[in-house]
């Protein structure tokens, strides 16, 4: 990377985030060998984006290997929490699940989204009355943002911020480094910030919660 000619693109706004962005991509070294990044490179990229740029405000925190409920034996990739003033506590805003760049095939995407949905299902069991929670599924430098709806008839349901209810396909994943995706991603994250999950009053249909 030549810093003298480098310019921001998409959500990649600093030379440091550019280094993390490139390290999370499948690439080729000068000798023609394929460089296959590990899952950790994706984690490092999105941790930096969320902590330093997207959710940089003081009312948000993020950390890795969080349990969706206290009794859970499994941990998700990482979570974002927001501060709730009237409770004087941080509450989970968004679950994030991560896969390395090469895991873009249908079976890998299905497994990734199923894991994210399972984490949210455990969260709803431990937090009855919360109508929805957010989730992001991450593959290399790509992301899809979801609203996970708590339903009364058989488990949580995933609704994409784009792509509707369509699941199990990489077609709806957006590269965070492309300028054409910047506006859509920023709108999704802004919606998460301004519309955090709260317990619903009685007699409110959870299926009518907007996804943004």
What is the DSSP secondary-structure string of 8-65? -BTTB-SHHHHHHHHHTS-EE-TTS-EE---HHHHHHHHHHHIIIIIT-STTEEEEES
Residue 8 belongs to a domain:
no
Residue 116 belongs to a domain:
yes
- Written as tens digits, the pLDDT of the chain (212 aa) is 677 789 999 999 999 999 999 999 998 778 888 888 999 999 999 999 999 999 999 999 987 765 555 444 454 568 899 988 777 788 899 999 999 999 999 899 999 999 999 999 999 988 888 999 999 999 999 999 999 999 887 689 999 999 999 999 999 999 999 999 999 999 999 999 999 998 654 444 444 444 44
Residue 206 belongs to a domain:
no
Give the containing element (helix H, strand E) for 117: helix 106-126
Query: For the chain, first and last CA: distance in Å?
Result: 36
The distance of Cα 37 from the centroid of its chain, to the nearest Å, equals 19
Q: CATH number of the domain that 82 lies in?
A: 3.90.1570
Q: Report how many domains make up the chain.
A: 1
Range of the structural domain that residue 101 is part of: 15-197
């Amino acid at each position: 990377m030549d810093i003298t000619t480098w310019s921001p693109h998409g959500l990649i706004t600093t030379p440091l985030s550019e280094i993390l962005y490139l390290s999370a991509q499948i690439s080729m070294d000068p000798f023609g060998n394929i460089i296959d990044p590990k899952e950790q490179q994706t984690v490092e990229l999105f941790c930096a984006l969320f902590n330093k740029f997207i959710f940089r405000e003081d009312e948000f925190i993020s950390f890795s290997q969080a349990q969706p409920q206290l009794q859970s034996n499994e941990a998700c990739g990482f979570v974002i929490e927001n501060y709730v003033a009237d409770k004087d506590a941080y509450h989970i805003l968004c679950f994030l699940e991560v896969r390395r760049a090469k895991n873009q095939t249908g079976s890998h995407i299905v497994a990734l989204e199923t894991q994210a949905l399972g984490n949210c299902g455990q969260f709803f069991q431990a937090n009855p009355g919360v109508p929805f929670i957010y989730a992001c599924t991450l593959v290399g430098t790509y992301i899809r943002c979801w609203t996970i709806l708590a339903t009364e008839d058989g488990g949580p349901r995933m609704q994409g911020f784009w792509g509707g209810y369509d699941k199990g396909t990489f077609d709806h994943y957006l590269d965070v480094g492309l300028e054409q995706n910047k506006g859509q991603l920023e709108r999704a994250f802004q919606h998460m910030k301004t519309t955090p999950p709260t317990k619903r009053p009685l007699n409110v249909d959870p299926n009518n919660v907007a996804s943004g």
